[in-house]
Amino acid sequence: MISVTKRWLRRNRTGFAIGFGVIGVGYVAGQYVLSKITEARERMAGDRIAKENLRRRFQHNQEDCTITVLELLPTVAENIIEALPSEQITQQLQLKKAERLGKSTGTSDVAPSELSSGTPSAADEDGRSLSSFQSESYVHASQMGASSSGNGEARPPLTKAQLWNDLKISSITRSFTLLYTVTLLSLLTRIQLNLLGRRNYLSSVVSLASHPPHDPTIILENHEDENAERAYGNDFETNRKYLTFSWWLLHRGWRELMANVQGAVKETFGSVSPREDIPLERLSSLILDVRKAVEGSTPEERKTRKWLPFLLPPSDQEESVLQESGMSTPPNPSQSPKPQDNTSMRYPPASPPSASTMSPPLRRLLDETSDIVDSPMFTHVLTLLLDATFSQLVDRKLRSEAYKLAPLTPVAIPESRITDVTDPAALTNSAKFATVLAVMTREAHKIGNGVPNEYVQEIEAVGELEAFAAVIYSSNFEFEAGFETSITSESTAPRSRDETPEGGKEGKGLAGMSTVEVEDVARVGKGGGIMDRATEVVDAAWGGFESVWGKVTGSGESAITG
C-alpha cells in the first residue's frame, strides 16, 4: 500500500509542484493587492484629513479677516469724518437761522436750542430742512471742540447758500468715501491674511516633513530648519511688516479716494438744491452717475481702473510707511520725518528701500499683492461688493428712512453690474433732498462705527468674496515653494514692485488668469456655506500642494495633516 502511494506521488509530482506554486503565487499576489488597497485607503484618509485641515484653517482665516476689518475700520472712519465735518456745517446753519429769527423778533440773544425746539413756520423751508438734520443726525464731541477752537485764521463768513452747498457735498462725499473705503479695506485684508495663511500652512508642512513622526533621535537644539521656516512664512517680523502696509489706506490712500469721489459728487449733485423734492428714481440715477465717474462707465473702463495707489504706497515710499507706522527707524533718528503741515502729512518723504527692512520675502508678498489688486478678478469682486454696499444705503436705508418705503430685499445678481433698478414706487415717491442728506449724515457714522456693522455684514454675504479668498489661499502652492526655496539657497537682492514684472517669476498666478476663468472661479458654489463655496477651489489646488509635499519629503508619500 505504501509503495503504491509512493508510485502515485512520483507520477503526479509535477502536477503537485505546479499546484503548490500557483497557490503560493496567488497568496503572495493577494497579500500584495491587499497591502496596496490598505495603502490606498490610508492615503485617501490622510488626504481627506489634510484637506479638512486646510479648509478649517481657511475658515478660521476668514473669521480673522472680519475681525481685523472691524478693528481697523473705526480708525479710517474717524479720519474721514473729521475731514468732512457735516455736523459743523449744520451748526453754522443753525446759528444763521437763530440770527435771522432773532433779528425778525427783536431778540437776537435767542439760543439755537430754544429755536430748534420750536415749530418752524410753513413758509420757512430752511427751518424744515434744518429740523431734519437736528432730529436725524448728531455731532461728535471731538468735532464740537474742533469747531470751537478753530485754527486762528480769520475767514470770511459763508452765506447760507454756500453753507447748504458745502453740507450737500460733504454729506454725500463722506458716505460714499466710507463705502469705498470699507470695501477696499475688506479686500485688502482678505488678500493679506490669506497670503500669510497660505505661507504659514506651507511652513507647518515643512516643519512636519522635517521631523518624521517615527524618528527615534532626540535633539535638544536644532537650528537646521530655521531658514526653511522663515522662507515658508514662519517669520513673525516679515508678517508684521507686511500687515503694517494697510496703514497706507487708513492714513493716506483714503485722501486720494475722497478727492476722486468729491470731484464726481460736485459734478453730479452740484445743480441739485437741498430745498427741492427729489424722486428716489432720480436719486438712484445720480448715485449711479457718481459710481460710473469713480469706477468707470463700461466694463472695459472698470477693468483698467487702478486701485493700487489707494491700497499700497509707491515703491519709493515703502520705507517711509514702515517708519511712519513705527515698524522701522531711519538710519539717523535725529533726521526722522516730522511733518510740519498738511502737505507733508499727506505725502511722506520718499526714501530708498533698505535691504534690512525690505527683505526678499516681504518684497515677494508686496509684489504678489500688487499683482492681485491689478488682476481682473479684483475688479470683478470689487464691483460686486460695491453693488452690495450701495444697495444697503440706497435700497434699504434711504428708501425706508427718507422715502418711507418698504426696503428692497437683496436679489441674486448673476454678474457684476452698475445698472439702474426699475421700481414703480421709486418713480413716484419723492422726499426733500435735505432729508436725504440727513440720513446720509447719520449713516456715515453707522458705516464706520456701527455695532453690528450692517455694511460689513453685506460685504461678508457676497459669496464671490469668499471664493476670491479661497483662490488666494489655495493657489500657487508649488510656485510659492519654488520661489522661497530659491531664496534660502542663494542670496537674492530685494527688488521693487516696479522692477518685478507680473508676479516676479514665470507662472500663472491670479494676475495671469483670463476673464472667463476669473468669472468662473468667482461664481463657484453660489449656494451653501463658506466651506461649500471653497471646496471646489481647494480641491482644484490640491495637485499643486501634493507636488510641494513630494519636494519637501523627497518621496511620493501622501500629505498628512499640517
* Beta bridge pairs of residue 146: none
Radius of gyration of the chain (CA): 32
Say which range, 43-57, 294-308, 450-464, 534-548, has the weakest mean pLDDT.
534-548
Tell me the three state secondary structure of residue 460: helix
Say which range, 250-264, 398-412, 514-528, has the weakest mean pLDDT.
514-528
Assess contact for 147 and 91: CB atoms under 8 A.
yes
Residue 346's alpha-carbon distances to 203, 259, 336, 349, in angstroms, are 38, 12, 16, 10
Give the number of other CB atoms < 10 A from CB of residue 509: 19
- Which of the residue ranges 191-200, 217-226, 256-265, 482-491 has the most confident prediction, judged by mean pLDDT? 256-265
Long-range contacts of 477-480 (CB under 8 A, 24+ apart): 477/198, 477/202, 477/541, 477/544, 477/545, 477/547, 477/548, 478/544, 478/545, 478/547, 478/548, 479/505, 479/507, 479/509, 479/544, 480/198, 480/199, 480/202, 480/232, 480/548
pLDDT in tens, 26-85: 999 999 999 999 999 998 988 888 778 878 888 899 999 999 999 999 999 999 999 999
For the chain, the first-to-last Cα distance in angstroms comes to 71
- The better pLDDT of the pair 130, 219 is held by 130
Task: Give the Cα separation of 21 and 16 in Å (integer).
Answer: 8
pLDDT recorded at residue 423: 62
pLDDT in tens, 311-363: 999 988 988 888 887 776 665 555 444 444 444 444 455 444 444 567 888 99
- Which of the residue ranges 10-19, 115-124, 460-469 has the most confident prediction, judged by mean pLDDT? 460-469
Long-range contacts of 113-116 (CB under 8 A, 24+ apart): none
Mean pLDDT of the residues in the chain: 75
Angle CA 13–19–23, to nearest 5:
145
pLDDT recorded at residue 535: 55
pLDDT recorded at residue 47: 81
Say which range, 33-42, 105-114, 362-371, has the weakest mean pLDDT.
105-114
Instruction: Find, among 513, 410, 391, 510, the residue nearest to 455 by Cα.
Output: 391
Name every residue whose Cβ is closer than 8 Å to that of residue 502 and which is 6 or more positions away in sequence.
371, 509, 511, 512
- Which three cell numbers, joined as nine digits, stand for 114? 430754544
If DSSP states are collapsed to H, E and C, what string results for 60-96?
A: HHHHHHHHHHHHHHHHHHHHHHHHCCHHHHHHHHHHH
pLDDT in tens, 455-489: 999 999 998 998 899 888 877 655 555 544 444 44
Give just the sign of the alpha carbon dihedral 259, 261, 267, 272: negative
Please report, for the chain, how many H helices and E strands are present, in that order.
27, 2
Say which range, 403-407, 441-445, 458-462, 533-537, has the weakest mean pLDDT.
533-537
- Which three cell numbers, joined as nine digits, stand for 546? 501634493
Across 262-286, average pLDDT:
94
Across 521-550, average pLDDT:
50
In which residue are the cell numbers 513630494 written? 550
Task: Give the Cα separation of 227 and 234 in Å (integer).
Answer: 9
Instruction: Find, among 258, 249, 253, 252, the residue nearest to 81 by Cα.
Output: 258
Checking if the pLDDT of 212 tops 70, the result is no
Say which range, 14-18, 328-332, 355-359, 416-420, has the weakest mean pLDDT.
416-420
Task: Give the Cα separation of 423 and 254 in Å (integer).
Answer: 33
pLDDT recorded at residue 13: 81
Across 218-227, average pLDDT:
47
Task: Give the Cα separation of 438 and 430 in Å (integer).
Answer: 15
The pTM of this model reads: 0.75
Assess contact for 257 and 173: CB atoms under 8 A.
no
